[in-house]
């Protein structure tokens, strides 16, 4: 795997020997599975101790920590952490997603808990709120359709115009129309809008335009669309397919405040409820079908394991006498039809027998001479596997030798435990992205946005959908949107973890990981462990991972940060790797929640010592910060939300180590400027808050596209200067460089021409400015600067024979 970032036009390649030596040194630093615990606390014997049971409810709870050492200790346990850290005067407060069993384990290890912040009941309210909203819209549609059916005997029309707005954007004139049609819930037909060409003219004289239906979460809301016009119309008319007519006056749309980058009439606010992964994919497919000239749907190459599980049951209560049973078939393919009964035959000296009738398995337990049951769990497991092995596999509970005598158990149906409706596919799931751009052939600078690596994060996918809607629906009439779509190759993947996403909506709202069960049968592979299975998709990537010796991921299959059996073991992660490997991708945004953070690499470090992955150069860091300022300003514009400086910066600096995260892979392996949003303050906030978060972070995501466009068109050459100050060392001076924009400075002190192989000016430290060079007075410094877009100061040719670089003889300042 590559540990050297490639792809930037000015970044020199580090010598291979240097890279290998650094990597080897890091690999010796730490055993990531070893838990560090607070002084005087009882150790957590293994991350597996934190496994949650299937019937336990998980809540978001504060954990009160003394310092960063205790934070590292908490991360090392494998506990499921929210992306939220607050540094207080007394220590650190983090948010953990834990069950009562996990709280007890961590309390025994010496950790202290604070307030409960979010409960399963809160998430249930969000789901109920979503369902109520959908039901209300459906009821409204039914009522409207019923009234329209009556229209043949009344004056009720089956079409009504909601809005008709005229506005200008530069020299462009635009008419935006929204209308409701009684058959819109079931009929996807567009509506035709006729317009006049001004007061007193005939409707139709100004031409026509079509508007398309807007569907959210399977519910028809209304038809809408915008088109350029050549004059300001006074009235519009819509004739529905049934012949009903609606006429409305056209209103003048007021321009938005001049500080916003969008032009007059810029359309936004396209989400009306939370969306499941199935609904997210349906949404982008409908969008692409409506705008085929500037978008397409791409099925990513790796299908997920699927929203499916084997049917299971755990028979018995005492661990030594429990029998775990799994179907061979998936639950939906017959496994859920299997049942098992463990019966006391009621006679003495009975043998252990297994009878299979269709999908019903009956076990008569063995008895002794007094009629007492004697069959052990180990014996029942062997008998089931021998006699019912075409239907199921049986095993003792979590590595128990199975020496306990089995108690009779009434007939128990095996179940996959999945509650989603049949509309949610149980097959290996395709993962989709929408590719937006006039030129989708790799010839334009590429930008990637992807969401829902963590299943329970319901707002980030909405940010991607809102952004896609804005790009496509504003293209025809907004000049700035058109510039982005015409000149960028934009990939948006709203849910890279659809299996976990569906599980979070329908089964276990705190689900973080995918649904793949990598647990062994002597571990937690049984039915009672089903809410702990899965791989943390944001710990399964290739760079600076647990497998490289970095902290913040776990080897335990039940941990919230389980890294999987190997790097890129999961199809979800291979899909992101495939996307990042597009050679034109230069910028990316990974959307998560929560905590209102804005972060970039390095995202991991090794402990002890918090030795991080290689830090960006001073120039790269400057570009990250400069672009961040623009993006965060755009977020703030919606409702004055400020992502604070304390929550802006490299992940390893402002959060905690996250070994094997996707941002690090994109940055170190592919040379992509990769950011990470942590949207909002909760995984599943009330809809009013979720809606506001969607709007503001869509502003930010759109601004990142503008950053990318400006980067691509940057032809301005940087300027640099050298400052000299007195040194505390006799005969020496202190020297620093400054640049007019984020740029790298290469310099020499031996009077030679500077090249890309010369010394690169570095940083003074974490979150600090440039380093101070202490050099002999009288030294002549030769240097040049180059920005990330490849523009070299003064058009100097570092690898040529030019001599027009900067040079200055440094003298001790007069006292």
pTM of the prediction? 0.81
Q: Are 675 and 643 in contact (CB under 8 A)?
A: no
pLDDT of 33 strictly over 80: no
Classify burial at 154, counting beta carbons within 10 Å of its beta carbon; exposed 0-12, middle 13-18, buried 19 or more.
Answer: exposed
pLDDT at 32: 28
* pLDDT average, residue stretch 69-86: 85
pLDDT at 647: 82
Lowest mean pLDDT among 9-23, 210-224, 359-373, 732-746: 9-23
> Which two tokens mark 369?
């001479």
pLDDT of 39 strictly over 70: no
Beta strands of 397-473 (E only): which ranges?
409-413, 432-436, 445-451
Give dist(CA 631, CA 636) in Å, integer: 9
Lowest mean pLDDT among 87-96, 296-305, 732-741, 772-781: 87-96
pLDDT of 46 strictly over 60: no
* pLDDT confidence tier of residue 50, bands split at 50, 70 and 90: low
pLDDT at 41: 35
pLDDT of 6 strictly over 50: no
* pLDDT confidence tier of residue 22, bands split at 50, 70 and 90: very low
pLDDT of 477 strictly over 70: yes
* pLDDT average, residue stretch 476-495: 96
* pLDDT average, residue stretch 304-330: 96
Q: What is the pLDDT of residues 131-183, one digit of tens each?
A: 887 888 888 888 888 877 755 545 568 998 988 888 776 677 888 888 889 99
User: For the packed helices 498-506 and 277-290, what is the interaxial angle rounded to 10 degrees?
Assistant: 120
* pLDDT confidence tier of residue 297, bands split at 50, 70 and 90: very high
Pick the more confident residue, 226 or 418: 418
> Which two tokens mark 13?
């390649």
> Which two tokens mark 488?
């960028």
Lowest mean pLDDT among 222-236, 340-354, 705-719: 222-236
pLDDT of 213 strictly over 80: yes
User: For the packed helices 120-149 and 687-712, what is the interaxial angle rounded to 10 degrees?
Assistant: 90
SS3 for 273-315 is: CCCCHHHHHHHHHHHHHHCCCCEEEEECCCCCCCCCCEEEEEE
Inter-CA distances, 12 with 157, 373, 447, 744, 796, Å: 69, 75, 23, 11, 17
Nearest-5° Cα angle at 805, 790 to 711: 15
Q: What is the pLDDT of residues 507-534, one digit of tens each?
A: 999 999 999 999 999 999 999 999 999 9
Query: In this structure, what DSSP letter does residue 763 have?
Result: B
Q: What is the pLDDT of residues 527-562, one digit of tens each?
A: 999 999 999 999 999 999 999 999 999 999 999 999
796-815 burial, b at 16+ Cβ within 10 Å, e below that, comes to bebeeeeeebbbeebebeee
Question: Is the bond preceding residue 608 a cis peptide, omega within 30 degrees?
Answer: yes
> Which two tokens mark 796?
């100097």
pLDDT at 495: 98
Q: Are 238 and 164 in contact (CB under 8 A)?
A: no
* pLDDT confidence tier of residue 580, bands split at 50, 70 and 90: very high
Alpha carbon distance, N-terminus to C-terminus of the chain:
54
pLDDT of 479 strictly over 80: yes
What is the percent of the chain with per-residue pLDDT over 70, rounded to a whole number? 90
* pLDDT average, residue stretch 317-344: 96
Question: Is the bond preceding residue 594 a cis peptide, omega within 30 degrees?
Answer: yes
> Which two tokens mark 96?
């953990």
Query: In this structure, what DSSP letter does residue 66 have?
Result: S
Cβ–Cβ contacts within 10 Å for residue 701, how many? Answer: 26
Cβ–Cβ contacts within 10 Å for residue 542, how many? Answer: 21
Rounded to 10 degrees, the C-alpha dihedral 446/443/435/453 comes to: -30
Inter-CA distances, 209 with 96, 196, 393, 493, Å: 52, 12, 62, 31
Give dist(CA 451, CA 497) in Å, integer: 8
pLDDT at 715: 93
pLDDT at 170: 64
* pLDDT average, residue stretch 572-582: 98
pLDDT at 253: 64
pLDDT of 768 strictly over 90: no
Lowest mean pLDDT among 409-413, 596-600, 698-702: 596-600
* Among the listed residues 368, 366, 363, the one whose alpha carbon sits nearest the alpha carbon of residue 351: 366
pLDDT at 137: 81
| Residue whose token pair is 């079931």 | 186
Q: What is the mean pLDDT of the chain?
A: 87
pLDDT at 20: 26
* pLDDT average, residue stretch 321-346: 97
* pLDDT average, residue stretch 691-712: 95
Inter-CA distances, 558 with 53, 178, 507, 517, Å: 10, 50, 17, 9
């Amino acid at each position: 795997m590559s540990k050297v970032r490639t792809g930037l036009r000015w970044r020199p390649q580090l010598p291979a020997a240097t890279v290998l030596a650094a990597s080897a040194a890091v690999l010796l630093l730490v055993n990531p599975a070893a838990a560090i615990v607070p002084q005087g606390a009882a150790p957590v014997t293994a991350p597996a101790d934190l496994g949650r049971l299937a019937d336990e409810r998980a809540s978001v709870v504060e954990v009160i920590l003394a310092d960063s050492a205790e934070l590292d200790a908490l991360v090392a346990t494998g506990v499921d952490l929210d992306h939220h850290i607050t540094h207080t005067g007394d220590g650190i407060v983090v948010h953990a997603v834990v069950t009562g069993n996990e709280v007890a384990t961590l309390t025994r290890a010496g950790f202290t808990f604070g307030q409960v912040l979010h409960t399963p009941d809160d998430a249930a309210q969000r789901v109920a709120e979503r369902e109520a909203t959908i039901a209300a819209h459906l009821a409204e549609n039914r009522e409207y359709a019923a009234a329209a059916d009556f229209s043949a005997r009344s004056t009720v029309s089956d079409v009504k115009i909601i809005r008709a707005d005229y506005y200008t954007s530069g020299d462009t004139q635009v008419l935006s129309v929204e209308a409701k049609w009684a058959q819109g819930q079931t009929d996807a037909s567009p509506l035709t809008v006729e317009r006049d060409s001004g007061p007193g003219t005939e409707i139709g004289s100004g031409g026509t335009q079509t508007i398309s239906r807007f569907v959210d979460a399977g519910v028809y809301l209304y038809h809408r669309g915008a088109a350029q016009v050549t004059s300001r119309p006074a009235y519009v008319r819509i004739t529905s397919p049934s012949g009903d007519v609606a006429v409305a006056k056209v209103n003048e749309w007021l321009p938005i405040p001049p500080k916003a980058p969008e032009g007059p009439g810029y359309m936004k606010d396209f989400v009306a409820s939370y969306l499941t992964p199935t609904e997210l994919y349906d949404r982008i497919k409908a969008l692409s079908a409506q705008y085929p000239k500037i978008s397409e749907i791409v099925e990513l190459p790796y299908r997920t394991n699927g929203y499916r599980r084997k049917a299971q049951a755990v028979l018995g209560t005492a661990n030594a006498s429990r029998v775990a049973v799994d179907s061979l078939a998936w639950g939906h393919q017959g496994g859920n039809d299997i049942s098992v009964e463990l019966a006391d035959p009621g006679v003495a000296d009975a043998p252990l027998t297994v009878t299979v009738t269709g999908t019903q398995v009956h076990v008569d337990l063995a008895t002794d001479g007094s009629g007492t049951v004697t069959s052990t769990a180990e014996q029942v497991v062997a008998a089931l596997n021998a006699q019912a092995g075409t239907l199921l596999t049986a095993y003792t509970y979590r590595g128990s030798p199975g020496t306990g005598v089995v108690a009779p158990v009434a007939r128990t149906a095996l179940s996959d435990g999945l509650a989603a409706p049949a509309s949610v596919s149980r097959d290996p799931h395709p993962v989709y992205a929408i590719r937006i751009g006039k030129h989708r052939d790799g010839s334009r600078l590429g930008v990637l946005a992807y969401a829902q690596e963590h299943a329970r994060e319901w707002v980030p996918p909405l940010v991607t959908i809102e952004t896609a809607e804005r790009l496509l629906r504003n293209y025809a009439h907004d000049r700035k949107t058109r510039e982005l779509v015409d000149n960028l190759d934009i990939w948006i993947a709203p849910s890279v973890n659809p299996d976990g996403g569906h599980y979070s909506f329908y089964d276990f709202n705190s689900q973080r990981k995918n649904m793949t069960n990598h647990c062994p049968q002597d571990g937690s592979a049984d039915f009672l462990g089903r809410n702990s299975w899965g791989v943390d998709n944001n710990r399964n990537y290739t760079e600076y991972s647990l497998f490289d010796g970095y902290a913040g991921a776990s080897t335990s299959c039940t941990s919230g940060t389980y890294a999987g059996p190997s790097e890129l073991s999961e199809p979800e992660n291979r899909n992101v790797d495939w996307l990042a490997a597009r050679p034109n991708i230069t910028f990316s945004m990974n959307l998560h929640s929560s905590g209102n953070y804005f972060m970039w690499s390095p995202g991991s470090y090794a402990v002890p010592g918090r030795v991080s992955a290689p830090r960006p150069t001073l120039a790269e860091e400057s570009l990250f910060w400069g672009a961040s300022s623009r993006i965060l300003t755009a977020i703030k514009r919606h409702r004055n939300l400020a992502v604070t400086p304390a929550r802006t910066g490299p992940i390893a600096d402002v959060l905690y180590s996250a070994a094997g995260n996707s941002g690090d892979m994109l940055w170190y392996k592919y040379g992509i400027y990769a950011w990470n949003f942590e949207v909002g303050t909760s995984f599943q906030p009330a809809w009013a808050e979720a809606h506001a978060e969607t709007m503001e972070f869509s502003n930010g995501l759109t601004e990142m596209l503008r950053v990318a466009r400006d980067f691509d068109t940057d032809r301005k050459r940087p300027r640099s200067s050298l400052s000299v100050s007195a040194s505390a060392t006799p005969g020496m001076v202190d020297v620093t460089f400054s640049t007019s924009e984020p740029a790298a400075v290469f310099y020499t002190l031996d009077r030679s021409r500077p090249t890309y192989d010369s010394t690169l000016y570095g940083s003074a430290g974490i979150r600090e400015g440039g380093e101070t060079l202490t050099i002999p007075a009288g030294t002549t410094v030769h240097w040049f600067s180059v920005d990330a877009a490849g523009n070299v100061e003064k058009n100097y040719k570092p690898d040529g024979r030019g001599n027009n670089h900067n040079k200055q003889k440094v003298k001790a300042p007069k006292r």
